[in-house]
């Protein structure tokens, strides 16, 4: 793929990412939910829709997009009907609920099309995304503390652990892990991974901690497996040393925290914050209370909310209840297609590994949280780049440097 060199201002992908960064900083740099943020989001979604239409016009678009397009159609139809009902959930009209239902899905899915489009056109490359990853980190930190503050304000009067709360921003930090692929120097990769695991543990979000642990171990395995024999043991030794240092740091800080110990104890005792009951009630309703039409086509947007007063905290059950068997099957086909893409031998090793890591993070989360509605641009940018084999240039460059080193020796 021939990369086109553009200045920061002339590259439309840079403008697209910049808009996302400004939008994500609402509530920190400027007020949240204002005309400014909504206008920025409208521009972003319109641009993304343009990219969706362009990919639709391709002769053979990647199979993964076909299933995403069906999911977009299902969510749009159900969201439209929810709007017609005034956003009514449990008999309470609220158009904001319907708008949020559509907005969260579009924000999650449409950027995948955009980043793929930009990578195909040469506007998105490893060199393009690398400086943006450096920008992503402080944005993730800002979101982390913003969401922690909001969680603490909500917790006042409801828990004895007012100073410590579960921070859903842990998943935002996890989304940064695949970004380590864009850096050439391994010490930068390790710094980013250490940052991710520390902040994720500080979030006290059990699902995020599990996901980050699996993702980081997978990443380290990939790097050691691909290293030359002479450097494998060195990488393993460095990994162990860093792991010990991080463990001691956490032992002196968060591990001593009473709320963390409480979360750990409840986890070992099998407490799932009511998720088991939510899933059980949703599945019971699906198999015993829904008619055949509802089972096939679903209850519609926020169906689980009308049943149990909450989301299912599981994408598979959420899709089954809300979008019915049709939505569930399309969702399954999407993941099968995603996995198949990550195994595509026409892509270079680094591109496949990046896709595998994004797949692992999103797929794991789908079983104990909302994944399809909350894919960060940190993830979708790496996904779009890797699907176009954007990491091949790093391998070619690395091989060239090694050849020059051998020749000079």
pLDDT surpassing 70 at residue 159: no
Question: What tokens appear for 148 in the block?
Answer: 């922690």
Angle between helix axes 275-288 and 315-322 (nearest 10 degrees) is 30
Tens-place pLDDT, residues 68-112:
999 999 999 988 888 887 665 555 556 677 788 889 999 999 999
> pLDDT grade, residue 119 (50/70/90)?
very high
Number of Cβ atoms within 10 Å of the Cβ of 51:
22
Q: Which one, of 275, 308, 264, 24, lies nearest residue 144 by Cα?
A: 24
Tens-place pLDDT, residues 177-230:
999 999 999 899 999 999 999 999 888 888 899 999 999 999 999 988 877 777
Predicted TM-score (pTM) above 0.85: yes
pLDDT at 241: 86
Question: What tokens appear for 270 in the block?
Answer: 């099998």
Q: Which one, of 400, 394, 345, 25, lies nearest residue 180 by Cα?
A: 394
H helical segments located in 156-257: 170-174, 186-203, 206-226, 229-252
Residue 324 gets the label, from left (phi > 0), alpha (psi -120 to 50) or beta, of left
C-alpha to C-alpha distance for 62 and 266, rounded to whole angstroms: 43
C-alpha to C-alpha distance for 72 and 57, rounded to whole angstroms: 17
* Beta-bridge mates of residue 209: none
The domains of the chain are located at: 12-400
Residue for token digits 């030359």? 228
pLDDT surpassing 60 at residue 329: yes
What is the average pLDDT score of the chain? 85
């Amino acid at each position: 793929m021939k990369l086109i060199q553009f200045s920061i201002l002339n590259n439309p992908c840079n403008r697209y990412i910049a808009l996302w960064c400004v939008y994500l900083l609402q509530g920190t740099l400027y007020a949240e939910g204002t005309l400014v943020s909504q206008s920025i989001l409208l521009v972003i979604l319109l641009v993304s829709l343009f990219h969706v239409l362009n990919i639709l016009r391709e002769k053979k678009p990647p199979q993964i997009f076909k299933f995403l397009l069906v999911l977009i159609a299902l969510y749009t139809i159900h969201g439209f009907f929810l709007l017609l009902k005034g956003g009514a959930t449990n008999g309470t009209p609220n158009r904001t609920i319907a708008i949020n239902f559509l907005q969260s899905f579009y924000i999650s899915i449409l950027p995948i099309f955009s980043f793929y489009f930009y990578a195909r056109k040469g506007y998105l490359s490893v060199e393009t995304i690398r400086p943006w990853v450096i920008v992503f980190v402080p944005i993730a930190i800002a979101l982390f503390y913003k969401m922690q503050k909001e969680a603490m304000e909500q917790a006042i009067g409801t828990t004895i652990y007012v100073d410590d709360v579960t921070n859903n921003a842990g998943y935002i930090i996890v989304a940064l892990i695949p970004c380590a692929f864009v850096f050439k120097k391994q010490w930068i990769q390790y710094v980013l991974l250490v940052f991710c695991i520390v902040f994720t543990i500080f979030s006290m979000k059990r699902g995020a901690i599990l996901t980050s642990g699996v993702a980081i171990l997978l990443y380290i395995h990939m790097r050691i497996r691909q290293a030359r024999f002479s450097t494998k043991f060195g990488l393993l030794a460095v990994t162990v040393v860093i792991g010990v240092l991080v463990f001691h740091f956490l032992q002196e800080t968060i591990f001593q925290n009473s709320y963390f110990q409480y979360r750990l104890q409840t986890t070992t005792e099998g407490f799932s914050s009511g998720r088991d009951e939510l899933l059980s009630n949703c599945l019971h309703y699906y198999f015993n209370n829904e008619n055949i039409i509802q089972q096939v086509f679903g209850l519609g947007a926020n169906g689980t909310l009308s049943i149990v007063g909450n989301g299912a905290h599981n994408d598979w059950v959420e899709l089954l209840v809300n979008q019915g068997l049709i939505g569930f099957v399309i969702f399954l086909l999407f993941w099968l297609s995603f996995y198949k893409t990550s195994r595509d031998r026409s892509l270079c090793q680094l591109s496949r590994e990046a896709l595998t890591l994004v797949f692992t993070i999103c797929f794991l989360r789908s079983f104990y949280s909302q994944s399809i509605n909350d894919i960060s641009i940190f993830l979708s940018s790496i996904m779009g780049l890797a699907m176009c084999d954007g990491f091949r240039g790093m391998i070619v460059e690395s091989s060239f440097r090694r050849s020059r080193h051998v020749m000079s020796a």
